[in-house]
């Protein structure tokens, strides 16, 4: 019975309707072919936004972030990626269909409209504070560059470059969830950077070539907003230990506690009457391969020029 019932299931009538014809997209565009291709296969090394080891050996002069740059290197892309002696990417991996599409796009003259890829909204992880990529316009002219302090994403230096390319550290800010919640302003600004070189992409690379002024204890600061003197309570499993320590030879409070998944310490120093977190130890210690030490035994370590010691 059920079989008989089912036997009627396949009846499906058809009609013919007019459908729009597909557009001729044999060339493709920057948006449809060129940009996806270079993002997938090239810019992880060949980007003007990358420096040093992060370029994996890509020459500094060969960047493929923009349509103009790709057009400028079109011949080399064809030769290095599409030809019989192709050696880019270094061990291949590009599908035949992708190669055919980008070859056709280049053969058409790399058509399309430039489209800017966004930059990071706030500044980046700068482990040695020697380069930066983020910048905003300063109120009084020039530019304020955002540098992270010691690789701490939530503690950021604001660094102003004047029109002569000279730089001054004008303040620190602490961020939570991308929102500035605390700040320290320097008056006068600290002249600790003295060279700013424009790159091909238009953003300066600042070299920390003069350490003068980096001894913050000798500067006169104006604290414009109150600083929270408590350690960040997030993720603490137990009450923190508070010990007196020295940071770069100056008195500091060291909060050492077991966070959820790693041992963390914050060092805080009194700056003109308020306390601010100036160092976060565990990530730096692990990054440097430097082990921590038991508090009751005391010890010291240094990271990127900052030393920390704890008395037993």
Partner 1 sequence: MPPPLALVALVLIACDEGKSGETAPSDSGDTTAVPALDARSSLVRASLDLLGRRPPPEALKTADEAAFEALIVGAESDPALGRRAAWMWNDALHQAAWRDDLARLSVLEPGIMRSLAWEPLAGIEAIVNEDRPMTELFSAASWPADPVVAELWGLPYTGENGGWGWTSYADGRPLAGLLSTNGLWMRHQADQTNFHRRRANMLTRVFLCADFFDRDVDLASDSTLGGTDVEEAVRSEASCVTCHAALDPIAGFLGGFSERSEPATLQQAGQYSPWLADWAAARSPPAWFGNPGADVGDLGRFMAADPRFPRCVAQRAYEGLTGGSFAEAPEREALVEAFVESGYRWDKLVGAVARTSGWRTPELRRLSVDQRVISTTAALGLAAGASGAWEGLDELLLEGDLRVLGGDSDDVDVLGRATTAAPAHLLAAEWLARVAVPEALDEDRLRAADKRLLLPANEATIDEGEIRAQLATLWARLLSAPVAADSAEIDRLYALWLAADPADPWGEVIEALLQHPMMGLH
Q: What 3-state DSSP class applies to 36? A: helix
Number of neighbouring beta carbons within 10 Å of residue 154: 19
Residue 35 touches partner 1, criterion: CB under 8 A: yes
Nearer to partner 1, 2 or 239 (CB): 2
Query: Min. distance of Cβ 205 from partner 1 in angstroms?
Result: 13
Binders of partner 1 among residues 132 to 191 (CB under 8 A) are: 133, 148, 151-154, 176-178
Task: Give residues 36-75 in contact with partner 1 (rule: CB under 8 A).
Answer: 36, 39-40, 42-47, 49-50, 53-54, 56, 65
Q: Which is nearer to partner 1, 7 or 220 (CB)?
A: 7
Question: Is the distance from CB of 134 to CB of 145 less than 8 angstroms?
Answer: yes
The number of C-alpha atoms within 13 Å of 174 and in the hemisphere containing its C-beta is 16
Binding partner 1 by CB under 8 A: which of 226, 272, 287, 305?
287
- Name which of 108 and 127 has its Cβ closer to partner 1: 127
Give yes or no for residue 202 binding partner 1 (CB under 8 A).
Answer: no
Based on the shown chain and the rule CB under 8 A, indicate whether residue 10 belongs to the binding site for partner 1.
yes
How many CB atoms are closer than 10 A to CB 214?
16
Compute, in degrees rounded to 10, the torsion defined by CA atoms 70, 71, 72, 75.
Answer: 90
| Minimum CB distance to partner 1, residue 186 (Å) | 22
The least distance separating partner 1 from the CB of residue 184, rounded to whole angstroms, comes to 19
User: Which of residues 83, 115, 249, 305 is near partner 1 by CB under 8 A?
Assistant: 115
Q: What is the closest distance, in whole angstroms, from the C-beta atom of residue 162 to partner 1 in the complex?
A: 25
User: In the set 123, 149, 160, 182, which binds partner 1 (CB under 8 A)?
Assistant: 123
254 touches partner 1 by CB under 8 A? no
Q: Which is nearer to partner 1, 116 or 197 (CB)?
A: 116
φ, ψ for residue 237, nearest 5 deg: -85, -30
Contacts 24+ apart (CB under 8 A), 64-71: 64/38, 65/38, 65/117, 65/201, 66/114, 66/116, 67/30, 67/34, 67/35, 67/110, 67/112, 67/113, 67/114, 67/115, 68/114, 70/30, 70/34, 70/38, 70/110, 71/110
By beta-carbon proximity to partner 1, the closer residue of 17 and 197 is 17
Q: Which is nearer to partner 1, 181 or 311 (CB)?
A: 181
307 within 8 A of 248, measured Cβ to Cβ: yes
């Amino acid at each position: 019975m059920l079989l008989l019932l089912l036997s009627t299931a396949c009846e499906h009538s058809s009609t013919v309707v007019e459908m729009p014809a597909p557009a001729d997209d044999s060339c493709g565009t920057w948006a449809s072919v060129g940009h996806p291709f270079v993002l997938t296969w090239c810019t992880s090394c060949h980007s003007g936004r990358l420096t040093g080891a992060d370029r994996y050996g890509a020459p500094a002069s060969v960047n493929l972030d923009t349509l103009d740059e790709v057009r400028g290197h079109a011949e080399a892309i064809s030769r290095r990626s599409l030809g019989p002696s192709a050696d880019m990417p270094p061990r291949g991996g590009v599908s035949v269909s992708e190669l055919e599409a980008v070859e056709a796009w280049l053969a058409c003259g790399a058509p399309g409209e430039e489209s800017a890829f966004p930059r990071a909204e706030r500044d980046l992880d700068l482990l040695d504070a020697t380069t930066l990529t983020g910048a905003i316009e300063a109120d009084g002219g020039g530019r304020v560059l955002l540098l992270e302090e010691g690789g701490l994403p939530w503690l950021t230096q604001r660094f102003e470059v004047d029109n002569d390319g000279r730089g001054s550290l004008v303040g620190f800010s602490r961020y939570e969830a991308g929102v500035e919640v605390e700040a320290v302003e320097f008056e006068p600004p600290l002249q600790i950077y003295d060279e700013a070189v424009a790159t091909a992409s238009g953003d300066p690379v600042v070299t920390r070539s003069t350490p003068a002024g980096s001894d913050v204890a000798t500067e006169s600061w104006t604290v414009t907003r109150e600083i929270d003197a408590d350690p960040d309570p997030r993720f603490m499993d137990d009450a923190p230990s508070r010990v007196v320590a020295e940071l770069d030879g100056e008195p500091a409070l060291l909060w050492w506690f077991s966070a959820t998944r790693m041992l963390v310490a914050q060092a805080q120093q009194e700056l003109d009457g308020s306390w601010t977190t100036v160092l976060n130890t565990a990530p730096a210690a692990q990054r440097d391969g430097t082990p921590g030490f038991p508090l009751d035994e005391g010890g010291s370590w240094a990271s990127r020029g900052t030393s920390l010691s704890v008395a037993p």
